[in-house]
Structure 1
Amino acid sequence: MEVTNKVIAITGGASGLGYAMAQRLGKQGAILALLDRNAVTLDDAVSELTEQGINAHGFPLDVSDEQSVITAFADIAARLGPVEGCINNAGITDDALLIKAQDGVVTKRMSLAAWKRVIDVNLTGIFLCGREAASHMMESGKGGVIVNISSISRAGNMGQSNYAAAKAGVHALTVTWAKELAKYGIRTGSVAPGFIVTPMTAAMRPDMQEKLASGIPLKQFGQADNIAQSVAFIMENDYFTGRMIECDGGLRM
């Protein structure tokens, strides 16, 4: 799909990886619908992108709330036209071990609230936004592309039962939707980032950053634009569907 003049929705688009995707696709001529829960951050991102000559618009959204998602996508269609690209990027972490024990006694467990918070945003949110985007794409008759952001943690990662389960589910949705939606001219894809330079990784102690980077074959963290490049590839390659790009410097082989 040629992204020029196509309406592309990006959840979590006001910062981090989502903002990098917005920059790359915006410079290629896409019309951007940035979706984010933080209205102030959203307004700032739209202003910054507009100053760069990018056609960007903000839409407040809680991806875990069904009505919020329905309303946001209806607003996009009314203001910009139906989406032809949707990048499900919004996500959170709430890490904890399943259980902690001392002297044969369980002292702490991952709470149900922590489990639900992550599943609601990272998995249910992708289901809701993907469903709404697919509905608009089908009814417009134009088809489109849905890209879901997974993670190398989908294979299982200590202290991340909730996050790993959600990110594994994300790719399962990608494969399922590829099979279901192809007849409507809709393609899907997943991107699984490894360690990427973000405010979160930047806040780590230098020695911790060094230790993590040493375990990566390329010996460095990736840049946010590396993930944006992967997303753009899926958008533009008309024979790519139901598959995943692992952009992790070779960390998971």
Structure 2
Amino acid sequence: MQLKDLKIVVTGGAQGMGAHFAQRLLESGAQVAVGDVSEEKLASLPSGIHRRRLDVSNEEDCTSFVHWAHQAMGGLNGLINNAGILRDALLVKKDKATGQVKKLSAADWNAVIGVNLTGATLMVREVVTKMVETDQKPGVIVNMSSIARHGNRGQSNYVAAKASLAANTVTWSREFAPFGVRVGAVAPGMIETPMTQGMNQKARDTLVAAIPVGRIGLPEDIWLAVKFILECDYFNGRTLDVDGGLNF
């Protein structure tokens, strides 16, 4: 599919990688509808991008947003499932000084699963429903997974969500084939975004030092992978790792 032919939704698109994707799509002639929980950051997006508040963990929000996006763009044939949050903590931790045992809270588990997995799934469901209802072919979905899906200390919730997205990329590619909808995923490594900028500096430095290419990734690195999936009509049901060779 050519980028100029896309009428595409980008979730979590008000900052970081999502904002970069939206900008690149706009420059390529695509119509773009961005959803994000931050209305302030939505307002700072370039003119020409449709924007509206969206909480992907809210089912009604997902349904109404997709309906709005379809009307705003005069159609809908793509989705970049980018919205995500972190609530990192060990599942069980014992304080070395006090001996106190701490647990990952159910609230932090549910928050990450609600946005990163349930929300992503709801958006896929609603976008594909709209495509099928309007007999829109072809269509394309890009899920944002992570190399953390292979397992990463302190990220039980995040790992569960991102591993599920990678697995369901295969599931959905098979389910949606009769509708002419492809599904692919990109699994970034460590990328320079507001999310990673908030990391503990020592942990950040340790991770960057372990990346064989010798640097942290940039949103443009991930955009190149997203662009490939959008444009390559023979790519389907697979996840691209874009991590500079980092091995957790």
TM-score bracket, shorter-length normalisation: over 0.9
Q: Is the 8 A contact 2:76 2:136 kept in 1?
A: no
Partner-residue secondary structure (3-state), 1:32: strand
Q: Shift of residue 72 of structure 1?
A: 0.6
The aligned counterpart of 1:30 is 30
The separation in 1 between residues aligned to 2:199 and 2:72, in whole angstroms, is 41
Alignment check: 8 A CA contact 1:24 1:229 kept: no
Residue aligned with 1:196, SS: coil
Shift of 1:194: 0.3
Query: Is the alpha carbon distance of 1:215 and 1:22 closer, same or farther for their aligned partners in structure 2, counting shifts above 3 Å?
Result: same
Which ranges of structure 1 fall in alignment gaps of 5 or more residues? none
Matching of residues 150-189 of structure 1 within 5 Å:
150-189=145-184
- Mapped partners of 2:6, 2:240: distance in 1: 23
- 2:161 is the counterpart of 1:132: no
AA at the equivalent of 1:197: E
Amino acid of the structure 2 residue aligned with 1:65: N
Q: How far did 1:208 drift?
A: 4.8
Residue deviations 1:196-253 (CA, integer Å, cap 9, x gap):
1112333557665443222111011111111111111100000001001110001139
Partner of 1:73: 66
Q: TM-score, normalised to structure 1's length?
A: 0.92
Q: Contact 2:140/2:181 (CA < 8 Å) preserved in 1?
A: yes
Match of 1:200 in 2: 195
- The structure-2 alpha-carbon separation of the partners of 1:234 and 1:222, relative to structure 1 and needing over 3 Å to count, comes to same
Partner SS for 2:44: helix
Do structure 1's residue 190 and structure 2's residue 167 form an aligned pair?
no
Partner of 1:141: 135
Indicate the residue corresponding to 1:18 in structure 2: 18
Shift of 1:136: 1.3
Task: Name the aligned partner's letter for residue 211 of structure 1.
Answer: T
**CA offset digits 1:170-195 (Å, max 9, x no partner):** 11111100000011100000000001
CA contact (8 A) 1:95 1:159 kept: yes
Secondary structure, aligned partner of 2:239: strand
TM-score of the two chains, using structure 2 as the length reference: 0.94
Distance 2:133 2:201 in 1: 51
Q: Which amino acid aligns with 2:87?
A: D
Distance across 2 between alignment mates of 1:165 and 1:76: 29
Q: Say which SS state the counterpart of residue 212 (structure 1) adopts.
A: helix
Residue 224 of structure 1 is matched in structure 2 by 219
Q: Give the direction of change, closer, same or farther, for the CA distance of 1:22–1:185 in structure 2 (3 Å limit).
A: same
Partner of 2:4: 4
Deviation string 1:79-109 (CA, Å, 9 cap, x unpaired) is: 2123211000000000111111258966110
Mapping of residues 53-132 of structure 1, within 5 Å: 55-102=48-95, 107-132=101-126
8 A contact 2:187–2:240 mirrored in 1: yes
Partner Cα separation in structure 2 for residue 97 and residue 214 of structure 1: 23
Alpha carbons 2:33, 2:69 under 8 Å: kept = yes
Code of the aligned partner of 2:15: S
Q: Deviations for 1:54-89, whole angstroms, at most 9, x for unmatched residues?
A: x31102111011111000111111221232110000
Within a 5 Å distance, the mapping from 1:33-44 to structure 2 comes to: 33-44=33-44
Which residues of structure 2 form unaligned runs of 5+? none
- Give the Cα–Cα distance (whole angstroms) in 2 for the partners of residues 86 and 174 of structure 1: 13
Query: What secondary structure sits across from 2:43 in the alignment?
Result: helix
